[in-house]
Structure 1
């Protein structure tokens, strides 16, 4: 039990710095995308992915990538970098479908 308490103290107290704060803020953004999606789906009584989901994904993914780069974690870096491609691509599709088409 003492080892567990020592470990938790080291992780959550000793190593607490501005980068950890950034990591928690980033994780908060990333988590909000699920909250937004859940609320939108409950209101529609169907599975819905609102545009805000992709913006929270992009913001959280970008901040988590910055955090992962600082921590030098290759698994985390690869996961967040590849996710950003998906988020940007989905936002691109959303933006181009809402843009008026010339000549119509």
Structure 2
């Protein structure tokens, strides 16, 4: 219990939380690069939860209500996103998503209507 009373311990917890938050973006970036499109893997949400819990612990140890409130709200969102990803939050009566709108196509050669003629 003496360890929990040392400021150095809580600095390590805080930096670990920040490290996990940074790592989640690296994981998401690499997953997106690998698939060639934007992807948010489940590991992103797990790292978010771990980072938020570490930062929440740090905030509580410092008695910082601003950081504590922000991190506690984030944990709720991260857990909900994991639930949605597993299919626990899907509504079978929900309408099908709208089809994707195709990107506009531009010719490589611009039209030269009325130029030089």
Question: Same-fold call, TM > 0.5?
Answer: yes
- Per the alignment, residue 26 of structure 1 pairs with 17
Aligned structure 1 segments of 4 or more residues deviating by more than 6 angstroms: none
Unaligned runs of 5+ in 1: 1-14, 98-104
In structure 1, the residue matched to 2:62 is 71
In structure 1, the partner of 2:81 is 90
Q: How many residues align?
A: 83
List gaps (5 residues or longer) in structure 2. 1-5, 89-117
Instruction: Tell me by how many angstroms 1:96 deviates.
Output: 3.3
Higher RCO (CA 8 Å, separation ≥ 6 residues): 1
- What is the TM-score normalised by the length of structure 1? 0.74
Return the index of the structure with the highest Cα Rg: 2
TM-score (normalised: structure 2): 0.66
Q: Which has the higher helix share?
A: 1
The alpha-carbon deviation at position 95 of structure 1 amounts to 2.5
Q: How does 1:1-104 map to 2 (within 5 A)?
A: 17-96=8-87
Distance 1:92 1:41 in 2: 21
Query: Aligned Cα RMSD in Å?
Result: 1.5
